[in-house]
Chain A
Amino acid sequence: MKTRAYYKDGLLTIRFDGELDHHSAKPAVRVIEDGIDTHLPKHLILDFKGLSFMDSSGIAVVLKAFRRMNELEGTVSVDNVPAQPQKVLDMAGLGRLIKIAAGVKEA
């Protein structure tokens, strides 16, 4: 999995490309936490457009980002979520805590 962070005007965006599982979760959490600690953003976007697979390990990753941003009184949203990761996020009811936007449905 590849993660890239962009920061501008209080908004930190982290793009995920590849598969988020237990194997790739630790480096992903590091990128998120480093990004937050460096920029102290008001809002964090986890951009899942390139996320081809996610399991329950990803739920913990999103929750960690949510808790860290909560401490800073900032907000989190998850954007461009493909169908498979969406189904896993739904299981955990994460939509109650975080704004989650589905990705464009593939033809």
Chain B
Amino acid sequence: MKAVNSMKIEFQSNSANEGFARSAAAAFAAQLDPTLDELGDIKTAVSEAVTNAIVHAYPDTIGKITLKARLFPNNSLDLTIRDWGRGIDDIDKAREPLYTTGGEDRSGMGFTIMESFTDKLKVKSTPGRGTTVTMHRRFSTRAGRE
């Protein structure tokens, strides 16, 4: 499907950018006239992916992160969060609920939240090269709402 609109932003892996990134994604998604719940889901999913890049991809350095969003004519949205950091050895294991390498500051729920707050989650990663997370989310059409 061909995107009808798209955006891409690039930012440093500073934790202050977590709020910036999820707000930017929500502001872009606003074109779909989403419900508050739908906006909350988008913000949460983006926050999880961006936080992972900040915390896990670049544990002791500041690196580059990109957030891309593409909007499709059927009221759906693709969100892609990419880093060039450490990468993930075993993606299936990383996606399991409660799996974490982050100790007691983390709960191992990030991927599980991304998966359940969107309709589709794809994770591509190469150890030492980086990780790309793509999420797809359909939005309710106005007519179908209460």
Which residues on A are within 8 Å of B, measured CB to CB?
Answer: 19, 21-23, 25, 53, 55-57, 59-60, 63-64, 83-84, 87-88, 91-92
7 contacts between A and B (CB under 8 A): A53-B40, A55-B44, A55-B47, A55-B51, A56-B110, A84-B40, A92-B107
Query: Could you tell me if A60 and B105 are in contact, using CB atoms closer than 8 angstroms?
Result: yes
A-B contacts, CB under 8 A, total:
65
Query: Could you tell me if B48 and A55 are in contact, using CB atoms closer than 8 angstroms?
Result: yes
Chain B, residues 103-116, CB within 8 Å of chain A (1/0): the string is 01111011011001
- What total of chain B residues lie within 8 Å of the partner, measured CB to CB? 26
Residue of A nearest to B22 (CB): A53
Q: How far is the CB of A28 from chain B (nearest CB, A)?
A: 12
Residues of chain B from 1 to 36 with CB closer than 8 A to chain A in the complex: 15-16, 18-19, 22, 36
Query: Could you tell me if A23 and B48 are in contact, using CB atoms closer than 8 angstroms?
Result: no
**Known A53-B43, A84-B40, A92-B107; 12 more pairs at CB < 8 Å:** A21-B19, A21-B51, A22-B55, A25-B105, A53-B44, A56-B106, A56-B110, A57-B106, A60-B104, A63-B104, A83-B40, A88-B113
Residue of B nearest to A56 (CB): B109
